[in-house]
Amino acid sequence: MTDLQGFSDQITNGAMTTLRVAITSLAFGTVVGLCGAMAKLSRYRILNRLAGGYTTIVRGVPELLIILILYFGGTVALTALFGRYMEIDAFAAGVFSLTIVFGAYATEVFRAAILAVPAGQIEAANALGLRKILVWRLVIVPQMWRYALPGLGNLWLTLLKDTALISVVGLEDLMRKTSVAAGSTHDPLTFYSIAAGLYLSFTSVSLIGLALLEWHANRGVRIAK
């Protein structure tokens, strides 16, 4: 990357922060989504209702509002807890917010993927006397990923772009660094075009990676055909 009037290093650092937020949120959000899907499919009504309420609320509220509510809510909670003003870390607030959002949508993706696993295979595993955890690990999860990957891929691409919203709470990510550079140099077209190109490169590489993952996940189906 050229010097860009002295902002090249800052934009590079902002891009790295964007990727760290996205990857961390993906990891935690995937766990949340799996737990949410299992709760929705649980025979316990309280878990069904909690998971249903979680996905309904989060999917019904704009991501930006969730970020602002969790950021300022976290600040209020810390201030009340320690008796003096304490501001929540912007990176932590961003990761937590995007984890909550990603997890809500991933819950529905995983739920549909689990239901897509042939019931006969689960019944066969139970007939063999496998414990429930082994049924999940050996039968359900390996097949579930094949059905879940396309939906998770779309959610990942959305998550990458949603990281730009975290700049409103002060996170020094790609979007914020670009905004500062654009304002300082009075050359917004150049810097916002660079940001667009970087986001596009992230999503393009992701699409290639997702295609390879889907190809690997479907290898057994191709052999069977």
Nearest to 154 by CA among 91, 118, 111, 207: 207
Q: 9-44 pLDDT, tens per residue?
A: 899 999 999 999 999 999 999 999 999 999 999 889
Tokens 């396309």 -> residue: 150
pTM of the model: 0.89
Helix, strand, coil % in the chain, rounded to nearest 5: 85, 0, 15
DSSP code at position 89: P
Q: Which fold has domain 9-224?
A: MetI-like fold (1.10.3720)
Q: 100-131 pLDDT, tens per residue?
A: 999 999 999 999 999 988 888 888 888 888 88
Q: Where are the domains of the chain?
A: 9-224
CB atoms within 10 A of CB 97: 26
Q: 77-98 pLDDT, tens per residue?
A: 888 888 888 888 889 989 999 9
Q: 176-203 pLDDT, tens per residue?
A: 999 999 888 888 898 999 999 999 999 9
Q: Report pLDDT for 100.
A: 95
Which tokens belong to 97? 């917010």
Q: Report pLDDT for 196.
A: 94
Segment 162-174 mean pLDDT: 90
